[in-house]
Structure 1
Amino acid sequence: MPRKTVSMEEAFQELDAILEKLEGKDISLEDSFALYQKGMELVKTCNSKIDTVEKKMITITK
């Protein structure tokens, strides 16, 4: 099943929602770990997008 491509804005919104849930007092360890994994995937996606833009900027400025 193909993964849905998320924009940077969507990724940041999801990360904010994850942080709010992780800060909650009633979250289980298993849920915390699952949210952490999802957050790390979103961070990797954002880093990849930023790297792509940086490479394009370097190419343009040369």
Structure 2
Amino acid sequence: MEFETMTFEKAVAELEKVVAKLEKGNLSLEQSLTLYEKGTKLSAVCHQRLETAKLKLEEISSDQPE
């Protein structure tokens, strides 16, 4: 799975699936750890996409005449 090219929406959808699987609690420890690791990567992607959007909005706002 290419996390670097993933859109925010796709990352959120995948993260929701990971959380749902973890919440069921019927996984082995190894499976849980693997999913947790995937979830942290997806969370980082979401955070990065939001930060990028925030910076872009700030840039657009600063370009507007007062």
Same fold (TM over 0.5): yes
Who wins on radius of gyration, i.e. which is larger? 2
Counterpart amino acid of 2:43? V
Q: CA deviation at 1:11?
A: 1.0
Q: CA deviation at 1:47?
A: 0.6
Note the residue ranges of structure 2 that are not aligned, 5 or more in a row.
none
Say yes or no: does 1:12 pair with 2:42. no
Aligned residues: 60
Give the equivalent residue in structure 2 for 1:29.
Answer: 29
Say yes or no: does 1:47 pair with 2:44. no
Alpha-carbon distance in 2 for matches of 1:44, 1:11:
9
Structure 1 stretches of at least 4 aligned residues deviating more than 6 Å after TM superposition: none
TM-score by length of 2: 0.80
Note the residue ranges of structure 1 that are not aligned, 5 or more in a row.
none
| Larger RCO (CA within 8 A; separation ≥ 6) | 2
Alpha-carbon distance in 2 for matches of 1:52, 1:9:
14
Alpha-carbon distance in 2 for matches of 1:46, 1:11:
6
Give the equivalent residue in structure 2 for 1:38.
Answer: 38
TM-score by length of 1: 0.84
